[in-house]
């Protein structure tokens, strides 16, 4: 996959909003090992390959327009810092998909903060990897399952029932993830259709 090409396509959309996406530094094997240690879970090989070969994707808000539009595939070094942070609103509690979703809302979205067996199971089965946010309400979240397959969750903050019924509930019984790493990155970076509340 040509990540630079996908970032260029994304920047064609970002440019009118004075945003600029860029590739993050590649992870070192030592950072992957530390991340795995802090997470207390084995990583699928594709998860490691993402950080070693692609590093991540970030963005700059050059115009400071506060559109809510972002791309966030955090590099390993920032994930390590987030996992170690003791502040409630800045701490990433785990790499699990539910904790990833909570982290995007400063650990302060009430419906996601409930403690439940289902949320614990989802955190164990799926790792949250990144997101593309289209505005202040809607985002697409990238995750990886235990077999190393990738999937995307569409989430509009005013459509929690859709998140639960269409994505999280099916994920409890069987992984719907069916994309390779490259397919998932292309879908996340190049698909400009935002999730809706409907």
* Domains of the chain, residue spans: 3-190
- Which residues have C-beta within 8 Å of that of residue 106, sequence separation ≥ 6? 89, 90
Q: Mean pLDDT check: name the lowest of 41-50, 55-64, 117-126.
A: 55-64
| Predicted confidence band of residue 108 (pLDDT cuts 50, 70, 90) | confident
CATH classification (class only), 3-190:
alpha beta
The tokens for 53 are 């070969």
pLDDT digits (tens, 9 = 90+) for 147-161: 999 999 999 888 889
Q: Does the predicted TM-score (pTM) go above 0.85?
A: yes
Helix then strand count (H, E) for the chain reads: 9, 6
């Amino acid at each position: 996959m040509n990540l630079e090409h996908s970032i260029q396509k994304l920047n064609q959309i970002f440019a009118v909003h004075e945003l600029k996406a860029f590739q993050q530094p590649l992870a070192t094997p030592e950072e992957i090992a530390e991340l795995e240690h802090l997470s207390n879970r084995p990583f699928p090989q594709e998860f490691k390959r993402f950080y070693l070969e692609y590093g991540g994707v970030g963005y700059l808000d050059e115009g400071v327009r506060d559109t809510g539009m972002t791309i966030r595939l955090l590099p390993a070094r920032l994930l390590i810092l987030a996992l170690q942070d003791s502040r409630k609103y800045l701490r990433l509690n785990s790499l699990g998909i539910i904790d990833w979703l909570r982290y995007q809302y400063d650990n302060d979205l009430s419906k996601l903060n409930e403690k439940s067996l289902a949320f614990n199971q989802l955190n164990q089965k799926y790792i949250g990897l990144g997101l593309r946010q289209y505005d202040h309400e809607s985002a697409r979240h990238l995750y990886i399952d235990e077999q190393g397959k990738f999937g995307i969750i569409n989430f509009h903050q005013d459509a929690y029932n859709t998140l639960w019924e269409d994505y999280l509930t099916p994920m409890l019984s069987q992984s719907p993830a069916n994309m390779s790493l490259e397919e998932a990155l292309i879908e996340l970076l190049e698909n400009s259709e935002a999730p809706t509340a409907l």
